Chains A and B, each alone.
Chain A
Amino acid sequence: MQNNVLEYLENIVGRVPDKTAYADEREGASFSEVYDKSRSIGTFLQQKGHYKEPIVVFMGKHPSAIITFYGVIYSGCFYVPIDEEMPRHRIELIFKSLNPKAVICDNETINTINEFDYKGKVYLYDEAIKTVCDDHALSLIRDRQIDTDPIYIVFTSGSTGIPKGVVACHRSVIDYIENMSEVLRISEDTVFGNQTPLYVDACLKELYPTLKYGATTYIIPKSLFMFPLKLVEFLNEKKINTICWVVSALTMISAFGTFEKTVPEYLHTIAFGSEVFPIKQFNLWRKYLPNARFINLYGPTECTGMSCYYEVDRDFELDEAIPIGRPFRNTDIILLNEDNKQAKQGETGEICIRGTSLTLGYYRNPEKTNEVFVQNPLNDSYPELIYRTGDLGRYNERGELIFVSRKDNQIKHMGHRIELGEIEVVANMHPMIKTACCVFDDIKKKIILYYVGDIAKAEVAAFLKQKLPRYMVPNMIENLDSMPLTANGKINRVLLKEMYEGKL
């Protein structure tokens, strides 16, 4: 039985060694290159004495970063992807929570790593790949590895202002990849066009199936997601047939009337998720790609990637939501009502997930882990963990799962999961800001920050951009003389939202 994700690579390299595995607009890497270089990096880290510890991968979005991920796994360590575009403050918070002993950089990021308050080792990718592979050392590491050993940590927004590191293991990734690939019908002929960043779990959908099936993944340059004609041109040039994108990337194409000029010719599988797809835009996609399969995916980072899917099989009214459908094989969904009992037919309950795809929890954060990775309240006979998503759902008359809303102030924006509380904590860090509160416009997809303080909006914007990832920076900032409060002294979010809506 397979118990290590690297077995995908080891199996495929014998079958299609010269085929391109990963490529961007500049360079490509064949499966044998991925294999050789990742084993060199694994050997390099082993020789430097790293084992069973987080290794930060601070590199640009290129095939070399993916190779480094696998190299880290070869050494028995787990990779933590950090993006060159992440703001300094967030990277420092991540460093603080990890206390890593080593960071791997490329020729560009090596120039910025010195700016951080980080005292550990810094390695250069170009150096690491020169290491002569030590097969014996790597096989000793492999012999001792089990499938519940971690392979990566990705960070997700935390309401207290501190991002939480989700730790995933071989077993959860294998379970997820196998069952998702079956639904998407991935094969050797699959050509992926990757949109999502390498520092979120969303990219697993392309990275690992590429290894399992000998498919090819093209990393699409980020700048193309502003220029729809160029983007479609790229898809056609690379003969991309499968995409797993955030909804905003898909609607960017359809909303600008791109399809009247050009259509992605090879696309046959379009997976999307983590946000509501406006039906008007969705219908444009279906109209121009009538033979393509459209699959809605749903799932939290804490359960490795996606947990549920719905393949669109009918038309939707403009005010309808596309269901999230049903769980992947070997995953179970339980809807729990407020009494921690199973929700009745049609009743709304919290979506809770059961299965091998549950990750190990949050890194060095037992408190937060124990809040959401809990004993299944329906089972008092033996230990059984479920993950409480904080999402509310219900089943429709067709028996399909429907996403209803969040229990708290978490939002989905441009495909990213954001705690409004984290933005507020950061805004409140500015000495001139007395109080701050965020609201989210679901329709226009805008984050609005209200603040009280003697400071110009421009300065607040500049401050937030230094501290927050781009996708968390408010789209609109408003200065208030005083913050509206509720009877018991809390910020009145409902009133703020009403104020905002009145302004429109």
Chain B
Amino acid sequence: MEQVLEILQGLHPEIDFETCNTLIDDKIIDSFDIVTLISDLSEEFDVTIPVEEIIPENFNSAKAIYALIERLLEDE
């Protein structure tokens, strides 16, 4: 979880990612971030995020992103 927060903080240092659960709905993460975010996550956790997982529900909060990563790591 720490690593996810760190990556997100790198993109938007002024947002409190521990509490925010409307990252997509409130356009905090937008099309400018998504490519960087996914490549940073893939690198950090050494996972491939399949395209069918790149959906709003998985990116609305740091928690949701972390859950996605955990799920992907388990499946490996």
Bound CA span A223–B33, Å: 12
Instruction: Flag B1-15 by CB within 8 Å of A: 1 or 0 each.
Output: 000000000111110
User: Which residues of chain A come closer than 8 Å to B38, judged between CB atoms?
Assistant: 256
User: Which residues of chain B come closer than 8 Å to A227, judged between CB atoms?
Assistant: 54-56
A213-265 contacts to B (CB < 8 Å): 222-223, 225-230, 248-249, 251-252, 255-258, 260-261
A477 within 8 A of B: yes
The interface stretch among A11-19, A418-426, A453-461 is: A453-461
Tell which of A226, A470, A471 has the most Cβ of chain B within 10 Å.
A226
Q: Which of B12, B35, B55 contacts A252 (CB 8 A)?
A: B35
> What's the nearest-Cβ distance from chain A to residue B72, in Å?
14
Chain B residue nearest to A257 (CB atoms) is B51
A475 within 8 A of B: yes
Number of interface residues of B (CB under 8 A): 23
Q: Please tell me if the beta carbons of A471 and B51 are within 8 angstroms of each other in the complex.
A: no
Q: Which of A444, A458, A471 contacts B32 (CB 8 A)?
A: A471
Q: Please tell me if the beta carbons of A226 and B24 are within 8 angstroms of each other in the complex.
A: yes
Bound CA span A475–B38, Å: 15
User: Which residues of chain A come closer than 8 Å to B54, judged between CB atoms?
Assistant: 226-229, 256
Q: Please tell me if the beta carbons of B35 and A476 are within 8 angstroms of each other in the complex.
A: no
Chain B residue nearest to A230 (CB atoms) is B55
Q: Please tell me if the beta carbons of B51 and A457 are within 8 angstroms of each other in the complex.
A: no
User: Which residues of chain B come closer than 8 Å to A261, judged between CB atoms?
Assistant: 51-52
Bound CA span A399–B28, Å: 46
User: Which residues of chain B come closer than 8 Å to A459, judged between CB atoms?
Assistant: 14
Q: Please tell me if the beta carbons of A226 and B31 are within 8 angstroms of each other in the complex.
A: yes
Chain B residue nearest to A256 (CB atoms) is B51
A487 within 8 A of B: no
Instruction: Flag A445-489 by CB within 8 Å of B: 1 or 0 each.
Output: 010000000001111011001000011000111000000000000
User: Which residues of chain A come closer than 8 Å to B29, judged between CB atoms?
Assistant: 226
A276 within 8 A of B: no
> What's the nearest-Cβ distance from chain A to residue B3, in Å?
17
User: Which residues of chain A come closer than 8 Å to B59, judged between CB atoms?
Assistant: 226
For the complex of A and B, list the 9 residue pairs with the smallest distance between their C-beta atoms, beginning with the closest: A458-B13, A225-B31, A462-B14, A458-B14, A226-B34, A256-B51, A461-B13, A457-B13, A461-B14
B contacts, CB < 8 Å to A: 10-14, 24, 27, 29-32, 34-36, 38, 49-52, 54-56, 59
Residue contacts A-B, CB under 8 angstroms, 29 given: A222-B30, A222-B31, A223-B27, A226-B24, A226-B30, A226-B31, A226-B34, A226-B54, A226-B59, A227-B55, A227-B56, A229-B52, A229-B54, A230-B55, A251-B35, A252-B31, A256-B49, A256-B51, A257-B51, A261-B51, A261-B52, A456-B13, A457-B13, A458-B13, A459-B14, A461-B14, A470-B32, A475-B11, A476-B10
Given A257-B51, A444-B36: 16 more A-B contacts, CB < 8 Å: A222-B30, A223-B27, A226-B29, A226-B31, A226-B54, A226-B56, A227-B55, A229-B51, A252-B31, A256-B38, A258-B51, A260-B51, A414-B32, A457-B13, A459-B14, A475-B11
